Every structure is written in structure tokens, then in C-alpha cells.
Amino acid sequence: MSGIILRWLGGGGGDTLCQILLKNNSNTYFNFNEDYVNDATGRTLLDIRPSANYPSISRLFTGPIKNDKEKLKEEFVRLIKNKEKFIVKTHYFDQEFDEFMRSHLPISDIGFNLEFLPYMVQANVLKNEMNYTSGLNHDYFLKQIGQKLNEHQKKQVMIWIFSKSAIRHLNEFSLDKTSFRTQDLFYDNDRVENFFKEKGYNIDLNTSFFSKWKNNSAKYLPSKKYQSCLENKNYDYNNQKELSIVERYIFLSLAGQNFTFLD
């Protein structure tokens, strides 16, 4: 039995898994609490669980730790020593931190491949009820550009950014070679359950909650046309009739093209 650092990109279904794990594993340290589920969009939302003993680990919930890496490392060494069971949620992708943790506790990524990339981007952009203006405000250059765009154009810029980022993370962190992937939540639940059960955690995906999540999330799945084009390396980003706007921007990126408004 060991702790788990569970990491994924936005749209990867991790919050839904964590909600199930939270309800089925007592005597386990979590850096998150249950929050709410939006049945209309299929979005599951968790909330940060503050901790006086592990403040940096708590903050991993919200994103990267830029200036606190040494303290974060110290807290994980202490957590591993003091807690037999823990599940830590994070979106923190950092090669230096990965290398440090490898000798203590390897990070468990929820992966994906190019075939499933449209789901990741669509779930991230559409499911999260995103304010596209605030999304662009995180970067000075994008903020300046965003002031000249309407909401429809801002949405396309965000889709492009998420697509490029997801492809970069996929390649840099080998997210297509993980123990289980987001598509397994739809097509191979046994693979997901076995991963956690082998580490001593209780999980059952045969529930009405999870079935409802899958049904509400199915609208974000990649189209057959996208999969066919990808297999043939036919990056037909101008195919407005058969491909979603997300799929077209993914193909624009894979084709090595610069950003342009496609719609």
C-alpha cells in the first residue's frame, strides 16, 4: 500500500475519479474536498482542503508551485513518512519535481493520446464554463490581443492555446504511456479500477453517479471523422462540415501551421 500523487491536465476526468475515491476511502489523507457536480455539462468540481501540516501540498490542488519547490519536497518526504495512505491531486507538470519524486514516490498521470485529444480540449474549454476574457488575462501579450477580439474569437484563441499545450505535455511527459488514460473512463473501467485496487484503495465505477457523468460527458468525445483523418495523417483543418472547431484547431497544430481564425 502506498500514497498516490494523481496528476492530469484539465478535462482529464480526474475530479470525477477523486470524488469517487474520497467517498470510498476513510483513513486516507486528501488535499481536496467534495464540492459539486454540474449535471448539464458533466463537470465535477472539487475544493481545496487546507492543511497546516502540508500547506504547499494543499496548494498543489490549484496549480504550479513556482517559488516553493524545496518546501514542497520537504512536505512530501514528511507525508510519505507519516501517512500510509494519501491521494494528492495536482496539475503541476515539472520535470525537476518529477525527477526528485521518482526516488520517493513516482507521480501517477492520467494520460491520453492524440486519438482522444479532442475530448481533453473540449471538456476543458466547454465543460468548465470558461470566461474567455479572464482566461487570456493570465498572459500580458494575450491580454493585449484579447482586448481587440470578440468572445467568439477569444474562444478560438483559447482552444488553440489548450490544444498546443496538451500536445506539448503529451510529448514531454509521455502521457500516452501511462498506467491508465482518460479514455479508459469510457472504454476500460477495469483498467482504472485495477490501478487503484493494486495500491490498496477502494473504487467502484459501477455506480449511477459515474454512469451519469459518462452520459453527460459523451458529447465531448472525438468524432469518427477526426479519428479517420488522424489515422491517415490527413490534417483537414478546413473541414468545417465534419469536424468540430476543436478538432480543426488540433489538426491546424499537427499540420505545423500558425494560428488563424478558422470560424
pLDDT value of residue 149? 76
Cα separation, 31 vs 88, in Å, equals 6
pLDDT value of residue 64? 60
For residue 142, is pLDDT > 60? Answer: no
| pTM for the predicted model, two decimal places | 0.89
Cα separation, 149 vs 38, in Å, equals 29
Q: Mean pLDDT across the stretch 90-108?
A: 90
Q: Give how far Cα 82 sits from Cα of 26, 30, 53, Å.
A: 16, 14, 11
Residues above pLDDT 70, as percent of the chain = 85
DSSP string across 58-105: HHTTTS--SS-HHHHHHHHHHHHHH-SSEEEEE----HHHHHHHHTT-
CB within 8 Å of 172: residues ≥ 6 apart: 93, 95
Q: Give how far Cα 204 sits from Cα of 23, 143, 180, 196, Å.
A: 10, 43, 16, 10
Residue matched to cell numbers 488522424: 230
What are the boundaries of each domain within the chain? 4-222
| Lowest-confidence region among 77-86, 144-153, 166-175, 210-219 | 144-153
Helix axes 151-172, 245-254, angle to 10 degrees: 50
Q: Mean pLDDT across the stretch 4-23?
A: 93
How far is C-alpha 73 from the chain's CA centre?
Answer: 22
For residues 22 and 34, is the Cβ–Cβ distance under 8 A?
Answer: yes
Band the pLDDT of 140: cuts 50, 70, 90. very low
Q: What are phi and psi of 79, to 5 degrees?
A: -65, -45
For residue 59, is pLDDT > 90? Answer: no
Q: Write the single-letter amino acid at 110.
A: I
pLDDT value of residue 128? 62
Where b means 16+ CB within 10 Å and e means fewer, 213-222 reads bbebbeebbb
| Lowest-confidence region among 29-43, 69-83, 171-185 | 29-43
